[in-house]
C-alpha cells in the first residue's frame, strides 16, 4: 500500500498492512500491525515493525500532510535538542503530494500518566497517590517551560512512564517561544491553565498546593493564583463548549448519522458492540426487563451479549402529543446532551452510549437513549432503615459526605436536575473500596444555568423536592436539611 492509498482507506484499514518507505539507509517496508489513533484521511498512528524493530509510526496523509509533518518534526526535534526525555526519532520522511512519516522508538510496556490518574481519581482528594501522579506531571511541564517550550495539547496521556523515566510525547503540540530560555510568565499561566482545567473541579482549592511541584523545578516566575484560576475557568468553559459540539457530529469520539429521516449518534468505541441493539431497538426493549412502561416513556434493562444496558424509549402517545414534540429537540436528545455534560464535569451519571431519533422529513417522532446499566440502590431504599426510631439514627458518614460532594458540584456548576425525587439518585459501590458515590439518572429536565438568579430558583425547587422524599418531621429529613448547602435567599435560615 502507498500513502496515497492509505489516505483513502477510511477509519479501519485492514491490518496488518505494508507500506514502502525510504530513509537515509534506503527503502524498506513498514509493517503496520495495530492502530492506536486514527483521523481518517489525515493521520494514522500505530505500532509497527521497521527494519526488524518495533516502532511507533505516525503516518500523515491528505492535503495537509506536509504542514502536519513539519510541525511534528519540529516539535520532536525541539524536545530532543533541549535535552528533554522523549522517544528517539529513528526515521522520518516526506513525499510531496503523497504524505509524510515519523518513526519513533516504541516504549514497550509504558504507562501514560492518564492511565495512572484514572486508577487513583476516585481516592480521597489530593491523596498521596493523586499527588504522586500530578507532581510528576507538573515537574515535567516545568522542565519544558524552563527550556522555553510548551505543549499546546497538554494532557496526562502525553506523558509516559517507562523504566523509571517520564517521557514527553506528541511533538505536534510542542511550541517554542525562545528555545533554551525560560518561558514568559503569560505563556506559563496559559499553559498551566490548560493543564489544571482538565482535572476535577473539586481540586481547584488545592491548585496553590499543587503548584509547589512546579515551582521546585522552575521558579523563574511568581505565579499569581488569581490570574491562574481565571485561566483555568476560561479553559474549562471552552472545553465544555467544544465537547458539546462534538457530541452532535461525526468525529473520533462519536459516529453520527443525521438526516431528514433519522438521527443516530453512537460512541465510536461502542459502535460495533451496540449494532445488534440499534438494529432492533423496539423488539429488544420490549423483551427486556421493563422498569416503566406506557405513557410518555418506556424504560427497560436489556442484556446484550451478557452486558446489561438501559434503553429509555420516549413514546409519542397520540397526535396531540406529536404536535407538541415534533418541532423541538427530543427528550432523548436533551438527556444525551446533559449526560455528556455531567460526564465531562465529573458528576456521576450512567455513561450515555447512543441516542436515536425517528424522523420523517425532519419531523421528530419516537426517540431512544441507551446508557450503561449502573445498578445501585436508590436513596429512598438506602436511607429507609434510618427513618425508624430504633437503632442507628443517621446514615453512614460516607454516604452523607458523598451527598455533600454531589450537591457542592451542582452548586459549583450551576446545574439543576428538575426532578430530584429519591428514585433518581442511586448509590454506586466502589469496586475495591468500602465507600461509594451517588449517581444521577433521568436527566430529561436537567439544565446548566447562565444566570445566578435562575439557578437559585431552580436549586431551591430541587432542594425542596429532594427533602420531600422523607416526612418533614423525621430526624433524617431534618439532618439532611441541615447538611444540604443553601443558595442565599432561597432557603429559610
306's grid cell: 451478557
Residue 489 is assigned to a structural domain of this protein:
no
Cell 473520533, located at residue: 252
**Do 216 and 120 sit in the same domain of this protein?**
yes
pLDDT tens digits for 327-352?
788 899 999 999 999 999 999 999 99
C-alpha cell at 492: 429559610
pLDDT in tens, 466-476: 999 999 989 99
- pLDDT the model gives residue 225: 95
The pLDDT of residue 353 is 97
Q: Are residues 242 and 281 in the same domain?
A: no
For residue 102, which of 83, 87, 113 has the smallest C-alpha distance?
87
91 lies in the same domain as 173: no
CA angle 60, 166, 91 (to 5 degrees): 30
Q: What is the C-alpha to C-alpha distance for residues 175 and 197, in angstroms, rounded to an integer?
A: 20
Residue 392 confidence class, pLDDT cut points 50, 70, 90: low
Q: 295 pLDDT exceeds 80? A: no
CATH code of residue 161: 1.10.510
3-state SS string for 362-392: CEEEEEEEEEECCCCEEHHHHHHHHHCCCCC
Q: Which of 357, 260, 270, 280 is nearest to 316 (CA)?
A: 357
46 and 170 assigned to the same domain: no
Last residue of a domain, one of 313, 341, 372: 372
pLDDT reported for residue 122 = 79
DSSP label at residue 2? -
Query: Which phi and psi angles does 334 have, rounded to 5°?
Result: -60, -45
Q: How far apart are CA 95 and CA 124, in angstroms?
A: 52
User: Mean pLDDT across the stretch 283-312?
Assistant: 91
Q: How far apart are the first and last CA of the chain?
A: 73
Pairwise CA distance, residues 253 & 299, whole Å: 26
- CA neighbor of 311 nearest in space, from 265, 272, 278: 278
- Looking at the structure of the chain, the number of domains it has is 4
Q: How many degrees, rounded to 5, is the angle at CA 211 between CA 207 and CA 215?
A: 170
C-alpha to C-alpha distance for 113 and 206, rounded to whole angstroms: 19
262 forms bridges with which residues in the sheet?
A: 259, 358
C-alpha cell at 255: 459516529
Task: Tell me the mean pLDDT in the region 440-461.
Answer: 94
In a domain, 76, yes or no: yes
Q: Considering 339, 372, 405, which residue would you say is the last residue of a domain?
A: 372
Identify the bridge partners of residue 266 per DSSP, sorted by sequence position. 255, 354
Say which residue the cell 518507505 belongs to. 21
Residues 202 and 221 in one domain: yes
CATH of the domain at 48: 3.30.200.20
Q: Are residues 237 and 128 in the same domain?
A: yes
Residue 329 is part of a domain; what is its CATH number?
3.30.200
- Tell me, yes or no, whether 137 and 101 share the same domain: no
Take residue 445 and report the three cell numbers written for it: 429536565
Give 418-447 pLDDT, tens digit per residue: 999 999 999 998 765 557 899 999 999 999
Q: How far apart are CA 50 and CA 47, in angstroms?
A: 10
Do residue 180 and residue 268 come from a single domain?
no
- Do both 340 and 442 map to the same domain? no
Beta bridge partners of 372: 309
pLDDT one-digit tens code per residue, 194-217? 999 999 999 999 999 999 999 999
* Residue 459, pLDDT score: 95
Q: How far apart are CA 323 and CA 113, in angstroms?
A: 51
What pLDDT was estimated at residue 491?
A: 52
Domain that holds residue 319: 254-372
Strands lying side by side in the sheet with 159-162 = 111-112, 159-162, 165-168
Mean pLDDT across 279-286: 92
Distances (CA, A) of 467 to 295, 419, 480: 27, 12, 7
Last residue within a domain, chosen from 218, 246, 274: 246
Residues 362 and 393 in one domain: no
**Nearest CA among 94, 70, 98 for reference residue 1:** 98
Are the CB atoms for 50 and 28 separated by under 8 Å? yes
Amino acid at each position: 500500500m502507498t500513502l496515497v492509498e492509505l489516505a483513502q482507506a477510511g477509519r479501519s484499514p485492514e491490518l496488518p498492512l505494508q507500506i514502502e518507505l525510504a530513509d537515509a539507509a534506503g527503502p524498506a517496508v513498514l509493517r503496520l500491525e495495530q492502530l492506536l489513533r486514527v483521523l481518517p484521511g489525515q493521520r494514522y498512528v500505530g505500532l509497527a515493525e521497521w527494519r526488524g524493530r518495533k516502532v511507533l509510526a505516525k503516518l500523515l496523509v491528505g492535503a495537509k500532510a506536509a504542514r502536519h509533518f513539519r510541525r511534528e518534526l519540529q516539535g520532536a526535534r525541539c524536545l530532543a535538542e533541549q535535552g528533554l526525555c522523549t522517544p528517539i526519532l529513528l526515521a522520518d520522511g516526506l513525499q510531496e503530494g503523497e504524505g509524510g512519516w515519523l518513526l519513533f522508538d516504541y516504549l514497550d510496556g509504558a504507562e501514560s500518566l492518564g492511565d495512572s490518574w484514572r486508577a487513583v481519581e476516585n481516592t480521597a482528594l489530593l491523596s498521596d497517590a493523586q499527588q504522586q501522579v500530578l507532581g510528576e506531571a507538573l515537574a515535567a511541564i516545568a522542565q519544558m517551560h524552563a527550556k522555553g517550550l510548551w505543549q499546546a495539547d497538554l494532557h496526562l496521556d502525553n506523558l509516559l512512564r517507562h523504566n523509571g523515566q517520564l517521557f514527553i510525547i506528541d511533538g505536534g503540540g510542542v511550541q517554542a517561544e525562545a528555545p533554551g530560555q525560560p518561558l514568559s510568565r503569560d505563556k506559563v499561566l496559559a499553559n498551566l491553565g490548560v493543564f489544571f482545567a482538565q482535572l476535577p473541579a473539586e481540586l481547584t482549592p488545592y491548585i496553590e498546593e499543587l503548584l509547589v511541584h512546579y515551582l521546585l523545578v522552575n521558579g523563574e516566575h511568581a505565579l499569581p493564583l488569581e490570574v491562574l484560576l481565571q485561566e483555568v475557568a476560561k479553559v474549562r468553559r471552552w472545553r465544555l463548549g467544544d465537547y458539546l459540539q462534538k457530541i452532535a457530529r461525526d468525529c473520533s469520539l462519536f459516529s453520527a448519522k443525521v438526516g431528514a429521516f433519522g438521527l443516530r449518534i453512537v460512541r465510536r468505541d461502542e459502535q460495533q458492540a451496540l449494532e445488534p441493539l440499534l438494529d432492533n431497538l423496539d423488539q429488544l426493549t420490549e423483551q427486556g426487563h421493563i422498569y416503566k412502561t406506557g405513557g410518555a416513556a418506556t424504560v427497560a434493562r436489556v442484556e446484550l451479549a451478557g452486558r446489561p444496558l438501559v434503553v429509555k424509549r420516549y413514546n409519542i402517545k397520540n397526535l396531540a402529543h406529536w404536535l407538541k414534540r415534533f418541532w423541538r429537540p427530543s427528550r432523548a436528545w436533551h438527556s444525551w446532551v446533559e449526560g455528556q455534560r455531567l460526564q465531562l464535569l465529573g458528576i456521576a451519571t450512567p455513561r450515555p452510549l447512543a441516542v436515536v431519533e425517528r424522523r420523517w422529513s425532519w419531523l421528530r417522532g419516537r426517540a431512544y437513549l441507551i446508557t450503561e446499566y449502573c445498578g445501585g440502590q436508590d436513596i429512598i431504599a438506602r436511607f429507609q432503615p434510618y427513618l425508624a426510631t430504633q437503632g442507628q439514627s443517621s446514615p453512614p458518614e460516607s454516604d452523607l459526605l458523598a451527598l455533600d460532594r454531589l450537591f457542592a458540584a451542582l452548586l459549583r456548576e450551576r446545574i439543576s436536575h428538575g426532578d430530584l425525587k429519591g428514585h433518581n439518585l442511586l448509590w454506586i459501590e466502589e469496586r475495591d473500596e468500602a465507600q461509594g458515590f451517588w449517581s444521577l439518572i433521568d436527566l430529561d429536565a436537567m439544565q446548566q444555568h447562565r444566570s445566578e438568579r435562575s439557578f437559585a430558583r431552580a436549586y431551591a425547587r430541587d432542594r425542596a423536592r429532594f427533602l420531600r422524599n422523607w416526612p418533614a418531621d423525621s430526624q433524617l429529613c431534618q439532618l439532611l436539611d441541615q447538611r444540604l448547602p443553601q443558595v442565599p435567599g432561597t432557603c429559610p435560615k
